C-alpha cells in the first residue's frame, strides 16, 4: 500500500473551493429522476445526461471528483473518450460506488438494514482501478426513531464499512466512508445528534480495529438534522452548530476531510448549512460536499432530455457548483442564488 498516494488523493478531493459530484445513482434512483422530467431511463439517455455534467465548462474549478456507477465508469462520451479519461483530462478524479445496496438485517427489526457487497470486493476494486477509479464509496444506512437504530445495526454496519475501507486501501483506492442517518421521521435535532454520535463512534472504533489509515480516507456523513416531519425545524445556524459539535467529539483530526451528503435537503439548504459551518472555521478537517441531487436537480430540470437544452443544463450545473464552491470558504450568500451563472 502506498499511503502517500492515498493521502495525496484524499487531500486533492477536498482541495479548497472544491467538492465531489455524486453521479452514482443506481438504476432505480436514476429512473425516478428521469421520470420526474418524463424522460425514459435508457442507457443512451443516462450516458448523454452524464456527459452533459462531465463536460460542463468551468465545473472543474469547483468539482474535484465524481463518484460513478458501474455502468458509467464503463461508458464513453459521444466522441469515444472513456468517462474516467474525459474527467482526468479536466483535472477531475474518478471514483466508484462499490456496495450492492441495503438489505434487511437478519434478526433485526423490519426497519433496519445492512449494506452488502463485500463478497468479491477485492477483485472488483482491482478492475475498477484499472478502469481509472482512484477513490470509492460505500454507504451504510440507519433508520432513526425513539428506539432505533439498535446497537446491533450500528455495529454491523460499522464493521462492513471498515472491512470495505481496508480492502480499498489495500488496492490503492481512497475509501469514502458513508454512514447515513436518515432524515425520515419526526425526531428532534437533539435525537439526531445522539444517534449520529453513536454511529460515528462505532465507525471509527471499527476503522481502528481493521487497521485503516485515517489519513487516506474521507468521511461522508449526514448533517445533524431534525426529521422531515418534526414539529420544530432547526435554523441553518443550529444545524451547523450541532453538526460541528458532533464531529468534533467523534471524528479524529487525522481524517483529511468531511464531504457531506445532502440527504434530501433543498439545494439552497445544503449550500447554506455547509457555508455556516465553514464561516466558523478553521476546523480540524476540510468541510466539503459530496452532493448528488443537490448539485444535479437544476441541471436535470433545464435539460429535460432534449439535446437542444444541453447548454442550459450545463449552465445550471455550473452555477450550482460555483455556489457550493463558495460555501467551502464561508463566502456564499443567498443573493448569489439569483445571479446568472
Q: What is the pTM (predicted TM-score) of this model?
A: 0.97
Confidence of residue 341 (pLDDT cuts 50, 70, 90): very low
pLDDT at 303: 98
Known catalytic residues? Answer: 178, 220
Given a cut of 80, whether residue 115 has pLDDT beyond it is: yes
Contact 260, 222 (CB under 8 A): yes
- C-alpha cell of 223? 448533517
pLDDT at 340: 60
- Please give the DSSP secondary-structure letter assigned to residue 105: P
- Please give the DSSP secondary-structure letter assigned to residue 321: H
Confidence of residue 339 (pLDDT cuts 50, 70, 90): confident
Q: Is the peptide bond before 149 cis (omega within 30 degrees of 0)?
A: yes
- Please give the DSSP secondary-structure letter assigned to residue 339: S
> Using CA atoms, how far apart are residues 258 and 263, in angstroms rounded to an integer?
15
Contact 14, 20 (CB under 8 A): no
pLDDT digits (tens, 9 = 90+) for 189-202: 999 999 999 999 99
Q: What are the structural domains, with CATH classification, of the chain? A: 3-338 (3.20.20.70)
Element (H, E) at 260: strand 257-260
pLDDT digits (tens, 9 = 90+) for 219-263: 999 999 999 999 999 999 999 999 999 999 999 999 999 999 999
pLDDT at 110: 87
pLDDT at 83: 98
Amino acid at each position: 500500500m502506498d499511503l502517500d498516494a492515498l493521502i495525496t488523493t484524499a487531500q486533492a478531493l477536498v482541495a479548497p473551493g472544491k467538492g465531489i459530484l455524486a453521479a452514482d445513482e443506481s438504476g432505480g434512483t436514476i429512473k425516478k429522476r428521469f421520470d420526474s422530467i418524463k424522460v425514459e431511463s435508457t442507457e443512451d439517455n443516462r450516458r448523454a445526461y452524464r456527459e452533459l455534467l462531465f463536460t460542463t465548462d468551468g465545473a472543474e474549478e469547483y468539482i474535484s471528483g465524481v463518484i460513478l456507477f458501474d455502468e458509467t465508469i464503463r461508458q464513453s462520451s459521444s466522441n469515444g473518450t472513456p468517462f474516467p479519461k474525459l474527467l482526468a483530462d479536466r483535472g477531475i478524479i474518478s471514483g466508484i460506488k462499490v456496495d450492492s445496496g441495503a438489505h434487511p438485517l437478519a434478526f433485526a427489526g423490519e426497519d433496519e438494514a445492512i449494506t452488502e457487497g463485500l463478497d468479491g470486493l477485492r477483485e472488483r476494486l482491482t478492475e475498477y482501478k484499472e478502469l481509472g477509479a482512484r477513490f470509492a464509496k460505500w454507504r451504510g444506512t440507519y433508520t432513526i426513531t425513539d428506539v432505533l437504530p439498535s446497537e446491533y445495526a450500528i455495529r454491523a454496519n460499522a464493521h462492513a464499512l471498515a472491512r470495505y475501507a481496508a480492502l480499498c486501501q489495500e488496492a490503492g483506492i481512497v475509501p469514502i466512508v458513508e454512514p447515513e442517518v436518515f432524515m425520515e421521521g419526526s425526531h428532534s435535532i437533539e435525537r439526531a445528534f445522539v444517534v449520529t454520535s453513536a454511529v460515528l463512534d462505532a465507525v471509527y472504533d471499527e476503522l481502528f480495529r481493521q487497521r485503516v489509515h485515517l489519513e487516506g480516507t474521507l468521511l461522508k456523513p449526514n448533517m445533524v438534522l431534525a426529521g422531515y416531519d418534526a414539529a420544530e425545524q432547526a435554523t441553518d445556524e443550529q444545524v451547523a452548530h450541532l453538526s460541528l459539535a458532533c464531529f468534533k467529539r467523534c471524528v479524529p483530526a487525522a481524517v483529511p476531510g468531511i464531504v457531506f451528503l445532502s440527504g434530501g435537503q433543498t439545494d439552497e439548504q445544503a449550500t447554506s448549512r455547509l457555508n455556516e459551518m465553514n464561516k466558523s472555521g478553521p476546523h480540524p478537517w476540510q468541510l466539503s460536499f459530496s452532493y448528488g441531487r443537490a448539485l444535479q436537480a437544476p441541471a436535470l430540470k433545464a435539460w429535460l432530455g432534449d439535446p437542444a437544452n444541453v447548454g442550459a443544463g450545463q449552465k445550471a450545473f455550473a452555477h450550482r457548483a460555483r455556489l457550493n464552491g463558495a460555501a467551502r470558504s464561508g463566502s456564499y450568500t443567498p443573493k448569489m442564488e439569483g445571479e446568472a451563472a
